[in-house]
Amino acid sequence: MEIAVDDLSGPEIARFLDEHIRELRSVSPPESKHALDLHALRRYDVTFWSARDEDGTLVGCGALKWLDEEHAEIKSMRTAGGRKRSGVASFVLTHLIEEARRMGYRRLSLETGTAEFFAPARALYEKFGFEPCEPFADYRTDPLSTFMTRGI
């Protein structure tokens, strides 16, 4: 697998992220949906990476959103449907942690859902040392959200 910064200009990544948003909308009500759309991912405070197989197939993605000089948020973690449980998410998350460290961040946080649909994501983050925390940044307490953080 290879991972690289993506400028989000291609139709393939636009479709991939549209599927992500539609899937999340199907399991979370609008007031508990915190996924960034394509426009929001193009902001100056977000760096976005796409992961591809050796043949160029898009298999996953992830982003870091600047919160302050020492704190970033993980956003838009997604694995292609046919590649779940194949190591893509671990590959992307490892890269995000390494990049956050390289960028000088000292803390990474994230928000994910509490529904059973999100159990694999929560397990992945726990495996990588993320622990439950209080809402951060502009988030508010939400029974449908799990907030996690770790130092790096």
Domain boundaries along the sequence of the chain: 2-151
pTM beyond 0.75, yes or no: yes
Q: Does pLDDT of 78 surpass 90?
A: yes
For residues 68 and 139, give the distance between their C-alpha atoms in angstroms, rounded to a whole number: 15
Task: Please report how many Cα atoms fall inside a 13 Å half-sphere around the Cα of residue 48, on the Cβ side.
Answer: 24
What average pLDDT score do residues 13-25 get? 91
What is residue 25's predicted lDDT score, i.e. its pLDDT? 80
Write the single-letter amino acid at 10.
Answer: G
CATH topology assigned to domain 2-151: Aminopeptidase (3.40.630)
In this structure, are residues 84 and 129 in contact, taking their beta carbons and an 8 Å threshold?
A: no
pLDDT in tens, 84-130: 888 999 999 999 999 999 999 999 999 999 999 999 999 999 999 99
Higher-pLDDT residue of 34 and 33 is 34
